[in-house]
Amino acid sequence: MTRSLGYLNGRFIQLSENVLPLEERGLQFSDSVYEVVKVYNGVPFTLPEHIERLNHSATSILLDLPIPSEKIMEIAKDGISQLNMDHGTVYIQITRGNADRNHEFPENSQENIIMIWKTGLAGLSGTISEGKSLITVPDERWSNCFIKSTCLLPNVIAKEKAVRNGFYEALFIRSGEIKECSSMNIFLVKDGIIKTPPADQSILNGITRQKVIEVAKRAGLVVLEVKLSMDDVEVSDEVFITSTTKEVVPVTKVDQFSIGDGKPGETYKLIHQLFSEAIEEECRAVIELQSD
C-alpha cells in the first residue's frame, strides 16, 4: 500500500491539505522546475546529481532556489526517514511563488518549495523479457528541453497518444532527428556500439542517461553521442530507453519496425546489470557512511 508525505516551505504536511492559493505561478504559468529522485533501501539514488540539475534548471529560468542545495537534500532525506521509506520516490518542485497573475516576474514574491514522498514503487527491477514499443510523434515542444520545467503538456499529450494506440512510449522527431521519449531518453545499439542523441538544448540530459553512459564507458563499451534519425533506428540491433523511475527498458518495436530479432538484446542485459551494480554500490556506500 502506498504511503505519502508532503512538504511546503518548511512544514511537513499531508497531501490532502489545501495549502496553495489560486494565484500561484507554478499553477498558472508552469513557472517552476522539478526533479524526481528514486529511493532504494532508504537511499535517494544520485540525489546530488538531481539537485545540481534542479539548480541548473532554476538558473536557466531566472529562478532562485529559496534555500541552499544542501538544505534541500537534508529535507529530502528527512522525509524518507519520517516515512520510513524503503523504496519509492521523492518529488521536488520550486515555483516562483504566489502573486497577482501578470506575465512579468513579481517583485516581492517568495519562491515555493514543494516536496512529495511516495512509497510503493518497486525497488531495483529485473531485466525485462518482453521488449516495449514506441510510436513516433512530431516534437512540438519548446526549444529549451534541457530545462526540467513543469511545462509538460506536449509530453503528456504524446504519452497519451502512445497509450491510446497500444504503445509504451512516444518518441519525439524534430527536423528528421530522433530526440527522446515523452519521459525517457533513448539509446541505439549497432554492431556493439551504443549511440544516443547529444545532450544539447533539445533534450533533457537524464540522470539515468548520464549514469548509463558512465557505467558503459567504465566497462569498456563504446558510447557515441551523435545525431540520429529513423534510418538509424530501423537498422539498429537494439534499442533501449532510460529514466529515473523506469530505469533501463528494452524496445523491440518502433512504429511498425521490428528491432533486431524482436527480443531484448545482450547489450541491454549488460547495461541493466551494470546500472544495477551502480545502484547497489552507491546505496552500500551511503549506508556504510551513515553507520560510521
Catalytic residues: 34, 148, 180, 204
Q: Which residue has cell 529522485?
A: 37
The H or E element spanning position 43 is strand 43-44
- What is d(CA 129, CA 249) in angstroms, rounded to the nearest whole number? 10
Closest to 193 in 3D by CA, of 83, 267, 106, 90: 267
- Give the SS3 label for residue 177: strand
Greatest Cα pair distance, the chain, in angstroms, is 59
User: What span, in angstroms and rounded, lies between the C-alpha atoms of 11 and 66?
Assistant: 14
Rounded CA separation 96/58 (Å) = 10
Q: Interior CA angle at 65 toward 142 and 49, to 5°?
A: 75
Give the helix ranges, DSSP H, for the chain. 25-29, 47-60, 69-82, 153-164, 207-218, 230-235, 266-291
Whether 32 and 24 have beta carbons less than 8 Å apart is answered as no
